[in-house]
Every structure is written in structure tokens, then in C-alpha cells.
Homo-oligomer: A and B are copies of this chain.
Amino acid sequence: MTISMYQASVPVLLHTLDAVSAFLKKAEAHAELRKIDPAVLLGMRLYPDMFALTRQVQLTADFAKGTAARLAGVENPKFADDETTFDGLQARVAKTATFVKGFKPAQIDGSETREITIPIGGQPRTFKGQPYLLHFALPNFFFHAATAYDILRHAGVELGKRDFIGGFKTE
């Protein structure tokens, strides 16, 4: 008994995309309640040369989309990075989740040794599917999701770690 590449990717990505969508809803409600311009919250960042909240969410979504597409060996669609509102970001996350959900286990299972070439720092780099997923894609995905959460916490939005971890999936 082992884990399939599908199990280690699609449901994991969807679980945290759901959590991101839920904590963004709390952030939007916080802005409304406190009469904060949503654009200010969306533009917040932890340091001047770090990405702002909007970009962190776009990157979280892109790592989800790209991971599923690359493991399945299908074209990774380009989504325009043009969101300027919470509704826009919610639509981006939802569109990404629909895309990820569309993959069947048979498309992704067996991709452990599939060669995946991605540009990193302008240079193409080739990974086998399993290390790509476990040592590159998931850490990147969680990094941007956690940083989005950290920006919101830093901005005073009332969230707890449970908002990041999402619902407990015990089986």
C-alpha cells in the first residue's frame, strides 16, 4: 500500500485552495467592518521587496495549477494576473480549483519519473515528477499560501492557524 501521485497532489492542493478562499473571505469582511479600502489590504506586503497579498494568492493558485498540469503532462494554461479585488481573487482561486479538480487519477498516477522541465531563474531545469512534487512544488505552494496568511495576520485580520490548515480530513 502506497500513496499515488494523484493523492499526494490534487486533494492536497484543493484542500489548501479552499482554506485560502475561506481566509480571504474573512479578510474581505474585516476590511468592510473596519472601513479599510480593500485595495490597501490587497496591496499589503511584509517587506518592500516581497510580493503583496494579491500576488501571493496568484502564485499560490499558479503553483496549484502548474503542479497538476505538469504532473499530467498537459499544457499549463496561462491565467492573466489582472485581479484587483477580493472578488477577482476568489474567482482566480475558484477557476484554479476547477482546473485542478478536472484531473483524473489516471492522468497523474505514474508521473513519479515523468520529466518535468520548468524555467527557474530564467534557466530550464528538469525534475523527475516525484521530487518535483515533494521537494519543489508543494513547498512553493505552501510557502505562498502561508505568506498570504501571514500578511493578513500582520495586517490585523483575525485569523488562527486553523484557517490555514482548513478542515480536518481524517480518513
* B-binding residues in A (CB < 8 A): 1-5, 7-8, 11-12, 15-16, 46-47, 50, 109-110, 112-113, 120, 125-128, 130-132, 134-136, 138-140, 142-143, 146-147, 149-150, 153-154, 156, 161, 164-166, 168-171
Contacts and interface: CB of A to CB of B under 8 A. Distances in A.
- 9 smallest CB-CB distances across A and B, nearest first, come from A142-B142, A2-B2, A146-B146, A135-B169, A46-B154, A150-B150, A127-B170, A3-B3, A131-B169
Given A11-B134, A142-B143, A153 B3 contact: no
A154 B138 CA distance: 23
Contacts of A147: 146, 150
A50 B166 CA distance: 18
Contacts of A169: 127, 131, 135-136
Contacts of A139: 15-16, 142, 164-166
A135 B135 CA distance: 16
A8 B11 contact: no
A50 B153 contact: yes
A4 B47 CA distance: 39
Contact of A46 (B109, B130, B153, B168): B153
Contact of A130 (B3, B143, B161): B3
Most chain B C-beta atoms within 10 Å of own C-beta, residue among A1, A11, A15, A138: A1
A4 B2 contact: yes
A165 B150 contact: no
Nearest to A158: B49
A168 to B, nearest CB: 6
Contacts of A46: 46, 150, 153-154
